[in-house]
Chain A
Amino acid sequence: MKATGGSRASVASGDWARWLNRLGPLLALLGVFALFAALCPPSFRSVWNLETIARQTTIVGIAALGMTLVIVSGGIDLSVGSLVALSTVVIAWSLGKSGLALDPWAAAGLAIAACALCGMGNGLLITGLRVVPFIVTLGMMLVVRGAAKGLSHEQKIDAPDTWLNELLATLPDERRWLLVPPGVWLLVILSILIALVLRYTRLGRHAFAIGSNEQTARLCGVAVDRVKVWVYTIGGAFGGLAGVMQFSRLTVGDPTVAVGLELDVIAAVVIGGGSLAGGEGSVLGSLVGALIMSVIRSGCSQRGWPNWVQEIITGLVIIAAVALDRLRHRRTA
């Protein structure tokens, strides 16, 4: 048992490979952007268009933050799209129609709390009934969608004009100094927060451990069930916040909005290096994944390509991203 000093000298070369791996998705984003910049008219590169891309990314991006946490812990949440719809409905309903006439802050808070509660329901059902997350959240997707429709009597709910509508609206001239709308800034701040949570808190480290090997986590005394409930609750809360952003774009409560959004969100996480087997994923990656999809969407429409071309390209990018990721893993393993 003698100390050999390990081999600290060779750490540096390992670090390089690690950074390259981590920046892989970012390079892919730059590549896709450069490609469309070459193909599209100059308007694609305009500040205005960049802002549009950022705004379009915000809804998926915020939901992807929660989803990153869920996927890192080895789970999945299919109810996000429905949560977004529920959130818009709850906001519109509590702002006006219900007679509560809540303050916009309270309305948004109520919506987020409702969605967090649904997320907590996901977590409790998954851990309590020992049913796989895919099934539980698939059920929750329908339950929440139904609840949103019931609350709104299957109609759009109009809401009074409040500052919530400006969260993702194009900036008026007097607030140009903000560069991007407040919603985008919120995404940036929350991204940093979640990245820090994943890396520097016990919740984050435990989520990685559970996703990587649940048995090991249990052996090491990690309160697996409690961590999972937290993870899904946070996932639900971010779904609710994504709904606030969605409301800002719609300015009404719409129970039929964001159908299939969960797949975009999952795709963003997966393109960014998240593994559906758990234990892998990063906030930066997920954001980049969401941005890649927005860039493709924007580029295709600028180029005048129809919607179906854009869908085919997005699909191919998802498959290519994951295939590349697996290839990289095989090489480093």
Chain B
Amino acid sequence: MSVETTPASATALEPSLPEGGRGDLVRRLVMTLGPILAALVIAGCILLAVGVNPLTYYGFVIERGLLSPLGVQQTLTRMAPLLFLAAGLIVAFRAGMWNLGGDGQFLLGAVSAAAAGPFLVQFLPVWLALVCAFLLATAVAMLWSLLPALLRAYQGVNEIITTLMMTFLGTSLANVLVKLAFLDPSTTVPQTRTLPVEDRLPRLFDTTISSGLVLGLVAIVAVHLMMTRTAFGLKLQVVGANPRAAVHSGLGVPTLTIAVFAISAGLAGLAGAVDILGVQGNVRADWNPAYAMAVIPMVFLARMNGFAAIGFVFLLSVLSIGGESAARRLGVPHHFTLVLVSIVLIMLAVAEYIDHHFIKTRRV
């Protein structure tokens, strides 16, 4: 899909989709998978140009990210924060609000959880301490989105700019908090105090997969159902697809705007908390995985559909876990994953254009 700021075309309601029946489904599959294959070929050419055999690279990625037992467990664990972020972005994008401040909200949530978790487990039962840490992370992230939300709701200030600016501030603030407020005095590494492994989110069965994965899946399915099956979700979609119709229909657009920002940022904060309380255990200074920015393309690829987003988040997870490992062995920068994702996006826009053109000429 073309990345444009008017979301009207992107947010057709679910019931309107299956109209074309089977042929339409096939077309959509081709339209989604075709660009990905094309992108793999182009990325392969780039790898060739830097002297790496693309087949070896893709082989490593698949082997490490998908096939090896340890790799696939890492992949599934990595999905947890990405799913929360995707859920938050789906709410915002479907409502026509471009919350690009996910990284700042994520980090502030992470730092809040990292500060509260190890502190609270000292007096509270572990489950209650974790719940409190989650709630605190959500609240802090929500608070961080309040300024862009108010500016957009009452002054019409473009939220793309304000949320991006707030993300820079948020990243720095998170750093400051780690280095000044919540610094662990017992280590020389600048980081917060570490949540003991046994107090973290339980692992699933006998694997190393964090149960955060389950929470993430629940979150994204819940968001999907909320957007497609409830009155609240429909109201948000009306605001997103035609704000003037929302006013005409008597919806309280400013209130809904603030709610959208709160939900979106809250989920980003939860993403941070789930990564800390499930996997990392602490926040190191200058840590910023920039997950939110990487998830945005996935949400677009999924056309803001929650179930499709699960699939694409899995793909991103495989690419990033496998890519990190392949990078170490082949000397390709591990940011190459992002290069691959962006080529996919460009190919997708090209496919969209060709499809559109094709439909137009067919009608004529």
Are the chains A and B members of one assembly? no
